[in-house]
């Protein structure tokens, strides 16, 4: 799957589930539950033990499942993730060197940014999306709406503290997609191995996003 297709699918689906769990087995379980729920995207953070191996296994099992690498802080790790099959790279904050590396490798890149200065730098560096993080803790949807005024052309992804009650408001405010972690990948569902729970939450978030986009179009 080429870069343009990955970028298009992220915008189309509108959710990037972030897998930040305490074992590789838990991460694989979560990703597999998500993959059959209608969300063909997952971000495996580098905080997961054996994260690169998890990415490799997920990428090998399904070529249409978009596996990304999160919490990237250096180029060596970024390279390992891409070699393992990651289709996008993301980081909590802005590191222009990682953005430039991703561009050279023809990989989608989603650097984190918070302030207008950081967002400007991220977009000018060539980022495909800018992940506004932590979003809920700094005004939530109203902050995204304020940013969309001067940054109308920037593809903003809202991330941090988003739940079922606020997801629609972020889309209505102008976010092209949402990064969602524990509100989608519930720790209790992982512990009990209840894949149906994760699938149901996935369907709810997809419905919320679809309905919010329909409101924007009407």
Helices (H), 36-175: 51-61, 75-84, 96-104, 116-124, 141-148, 167-173
Rounded CA separation 70/91 (Å): 6
The DSSP symbol for 41 reads: E
Half-sphere exposure of 138 (CA within 13 A, CB side): 16
Rounded CA separation 85/45 (Å): 14
- 88-90 and 41-45 strand pairing: unpaired
- 130-132 and 177-180 strand pairing: unpaired
Rounded CA separation 25/2 (Å): 28
In this structure, how many other beta carbons lie within 10 angstroms of the beta carbon of residue 214?
9
Whether residue 43 lies in the annotated active site: yes
**Residue matched to tokens 């191996």:** 53
Q: Which of 32, 56, 87, 131 is catalytic?
A: 131
Could you tell me the CA-to-CA distances from 134 to 19, 27, 91, 138, 165 in Å, in that order? 16, 22, 12, 7, 17
Name the token pair of 216. Answer: 């924007």
Whether residue 3 lies in the annotated active site: no
Q: Which of 32, 43, 56, 57 is catalytic?
A: 43
Q: What are the residue numbers of the active site?
A: 43, 131
């Amino acid at each position: 799957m080429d870069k343009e297709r990955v970028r298009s699918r992220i915008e189309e689906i509108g959710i990037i589930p972030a897998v930040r769990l305490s074992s590789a087995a838990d991460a694989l379980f979560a990703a597999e539950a998500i993959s059959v729920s209608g969300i063909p995207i997952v971000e495996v953070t580098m905080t997961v033990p054996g994260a690169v191996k998890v990415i490799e296994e997920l990428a090998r099992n399904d070529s249409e499942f978009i596996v990304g690498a999160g919490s990237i802080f250096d180029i060596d790790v970024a390279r390992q993730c891409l070699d393992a099959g990651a289709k996008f790279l993301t980081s909590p904050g802005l590191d222009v060197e990682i953005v430039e590396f991703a561009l050279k490798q023809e990989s989608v890149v989603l650097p984190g940014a918070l302030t207008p200065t950081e967002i400007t730098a991220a977009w000018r560096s060539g980022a495909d999306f800018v992940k506004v993080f932590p979003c809920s803790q700094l005004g939530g949807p109203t902050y995204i709406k304020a940013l969309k005024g001067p940054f109308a052309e920037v593809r903003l992804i809202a991330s941090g503290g988003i739940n079922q009650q606020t997801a629609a408001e972020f889309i209505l405010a102008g976010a092209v997609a949402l990064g969602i972690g524990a509100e989608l990948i519930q720790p209790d569902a992982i512990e009990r191995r209840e894949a149906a729970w994760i699938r149901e939450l996935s369907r709810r978030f997809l419905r919320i996003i679809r309905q919010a986009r329909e409101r924007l179009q009407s």
